[in-house]
Structures are given as structure tokens and as C-alpha cells.
Amino acid sequence: MTHLECSRCGKTHAHNRLQNLCTCGKPLLARYELKAAAKTLTREALTTRPANMWRYAEVLPGGPPVSLGEGMTPLLDARKVGAALGLKNLYVKDEGLNPTGSFKARGLSAAVTRAKALGASSLAIPTAGNAGGALAAYAAQAGLPSVIVMPADTPMANVMECRAFGADVRKIDGLISDCGKYVAEHKDREGWFDVSTLKEPYRIEGKKTMGYELWEQFGGKLPDVIIYPTGGGVGLIGMCKAFDEMEAMGWVASTRPRMVSVQAAGCAPIVEAYERGSESSEFWDHAATIASGLRVPKALGDFLILRMIRASRGTAVTATDEEMLAAGRELAAFEGIYAAPEGAATLVAARKLVAAEWINPEETVVLFNTGSGYKYSEAWERALNLSGIQATVGRQEQ
């Protein structure tokens, strides 16, 4: 790593001290000497490295890794669901098999690693659920205290895991945006380092490893379409950053997967901004969805998400709660994948895009399940109580 660079104004910052946003208020991105990295980060070298995200050490933040074995999640061939959709090459990248049950483990492993290396004494995060559990776990591994600020209606599984890891859990009436305000108002007086989404530079670095893994798992190629559930959007931003780094190292050409952002119909600021051609989103009032990770009324990196969707010739789609629950049942019953509602939303999007002929049958499509269904017992209880749901796959096979 050589420096930090503002994602909006381009100003450079030192990477050897704790840092949140640029002076202009926008997120910072870690930059590397990629020609030097490419000399040792090779396909041959990767065959000898541990099967976790720290195998990509040359393009990750420095410091002894604070790790629980995150990364290298399976890429599953969803044959039955793919056949029902008319897709020959449909895959699910199952991030629910990470430590703490979600993709948040990647970002928090990187963030806690760097924060500890730079001398942070206490860490704080606003969260809709899974990020809080991940921070609590990695802070415990690092020997650092953590403060988790959650909406009062956060799923109980997330609350219990944070407390089990020894975190100071504080519940707030409101949304994740209100929790973010609480952290901002209290961090200086209480001595916390804020690891909110995109308010520190390294959660992106952990999330981008999903893109590197796809390249490995597809034998040195990238898929045609990536469908990604988008709340704060760090995973989508991170993968696009990874693809740019791969191109600079000579791994891939300039062609990119078409990036599809999926949001809940009850909280869809990115979809709305995309459809009206805006460069940034508006705050989504009265955000409501069972997919707690998608209940983000305005993402700090909205301009990056929209820029990357358009640059990749992608699109943005919504899914209702009912559609997510039905799709989650399909993934579980026919592929053995117990997905979070956020992950199930990607199947809803795939079905809509196939019907619109935006995706063709020959293309390779990857759905990202970002979390385990085991952490959404309240949502699954609702799904199993719904009457009259018959999975599309079941009807086709009959």
C-alpha cells in the first residue's frame, strides 16, 4: 500500500495513521504499487497459500491479520434453479459460510487488522445487524473493546451474538442512519474509532476479495453478470475496485461483469436514483423491509455505486419482502442454500432480468448470498407461515 486517495476529489492522504473520511467528507480508497504486487501475487503463488482472504496479502492493508478464517467461500452451481430460469450457468457465491455468518466478516477483518496496527484503543459501529456481530467478533479476537449501536428492532440473533462476544450493545429507536449519528456524536468524547461503512478505508479492502475469489474460482475469468444485494454497497464497490486492480496487474482485460444492484422495494434509494439518471441518491423516508441489511436510507458511497453500475453497463432492480421470502424458499428447498433475505433478493432480480431478456441463457451469472438464513429466524418464521407459495422450480419439475 502506498497511500489513501479520496474517491471524489482525488486528494491523497497518508496511510500510516488512523483516518476516516477525506477533508471533503467523502470515502477514502487504499492504493497500492500494483506492478510490484504482481511480481509475487500470481496464480502459481496462490496455489500454495491458505484458503482465506489473506492469501491476497499484497493488495490488503498491512499489519498482523486479525483473522477467523474468512474468505474463500464456495461458488455453488445452482443447476435446478438455473434450469427453471432458463439459465445454463447460474451460480451462488455463498457468503453465509463466513465466520459470524455473513460477508461482513471480510470487511471487519481488514478494518480491525488495520485499526489495531495503527493504535486504535476502542472501536464503534452503527449496524443493522450482521456488521455488528462481525465487529464484535474481530474486536474480541484483537483484544479491543467494541461498541455496537443498533436499531431497537434489530433481529435478536444479531443482538445476542454481539453480547456473547463481549461488546457494549446500545439500542436506538430509529434506523441505521440514526445509529450513525449516535456514533458520530459520541466517538470523540468516548474515545472510539469509527468503523462505519465507508467512513474508514479498509472495509472495502476486505470486501473486494470476493472479486479476486471469483477470478480464481472461474479459472482466471470473470462472470458476465454479478447480482448483488445493496445496502451500503461496499461489496459492489469493492469488487469493482478489485477488477480495476486485476487489470492493472495484467490478470484481466478491460471488459467487466455487468453489475446489478438489488434493493428492497421498501428502501430503494439506489434504484430510484439509477432510474432517474442521478449521480447520487435521495434519503429514503420511512425505510422498511425484513432484509435488515438493505434498510439503508442513504448510502455514503451512493455516487460510487451508481458510477460503477453505469460503467459496467449494469442496472438496478427492486424486490418486495414477499418476493424475497418466496425466493429464499426456492434456494433452500431446491439448492440446499439457506439464504438471508438479502441473498434471496438476488434470485428475484435474476428472474426479472431474464424475463426482460436483459440476461441471455448462455451468460454466466453469479448471485451473492451475503448472509446465512440462520440469523433471520423471524423472517423465516414468516416465510414458512405464508400460505399458497409453490416454488417455480417445483412446478417446472412436475
What are the structural domain ranges in the chain? 75-101+202-397
Joined together, the cell numbers standing for residue 333 give: 428447498
pLDDT of the residue at 151: 95
Q: How far apart are the first and last CA of the chain?
A: 55
Better-scored residue on pLDDT, 394 or 324: 324
pLDDT at 86 over 80: yes
pLDDT at 390 over 90: no
Residue type, 196: S
State the pairing for strand pair 12-13/3-6: antiparallel
pLDDT at 394 over 90: no
Over range 68-97, report the average pLDDT.
98
pTM over 0.75: yes
Joined together, the cell numbers standing for residue 233 give: 454497497
Joined together, the cell numbers standing for residue 319 give: 424486490
Q: Give the count of beta carbons closer than 10 Å to the beta carbon of residue 275.
A: 12
Joined together, the cell numbers standing for residue 207 give: 470486501
| Nearest residue to 395 via CA among 135, 80, 109 | 80
Question: Nearest 5 degrees, angle CA 362-CA 371-CA 58?
Answer: 80
pLDDT of the residue at 388: 46
- In sequence order, the β-bridge partners of residue 339 are 372
Better-scored residue on pLDDT, 330 or 381: 330
pLDDT of the residue at 378: 79
State the pairing for strand pair 193-194/123-126: parallel
The CATH T-level fold of domain 75-101+202-397 is Rossmann fold (3.40.50)
Do 22 and 29 touch, CB atoms closer than 8 A?
no
pLDDT at 15 over 70: yes
For the chain, give the mean pLDDT. 95
| Per-residue confidence band for 381, with pLDDT thresholds at 50, 70 and 90 | confident
- In sequence order, the β-bridge partners of residue 4 are 13, 30
Segment 219-269, tens digit of pLDDT: 999 999 999 999 999 999 999 999 999 999 999 999 999 999 999 999 999
pLDDT at 384 over 80: no
Q: Which residues contact 311 (CB under 8 A, 6 or more apart)?
A: 240, 256
pLDDT at 331 over 60: yes
| Per-residue confidence band for 385, with pLDDT thresholds at 50, 70 and 90 | confident
By three-state DSSP, how is residue 301 classified?
A: coil
Joined together, the cell numbers standing for residue 168 give: 457494549
Segment 185-218, tens digit of pLDDT: 999 999 999 999 999 999 999 999 999 999 999 9
Q: Give the count of beta carbons closer than 10 Å to the beta carbon of residue 157.
A: 18
pLDDT of the residue at 386: 60
Do 312 and 257 touch, CB atoms closer than 8 A?
yes
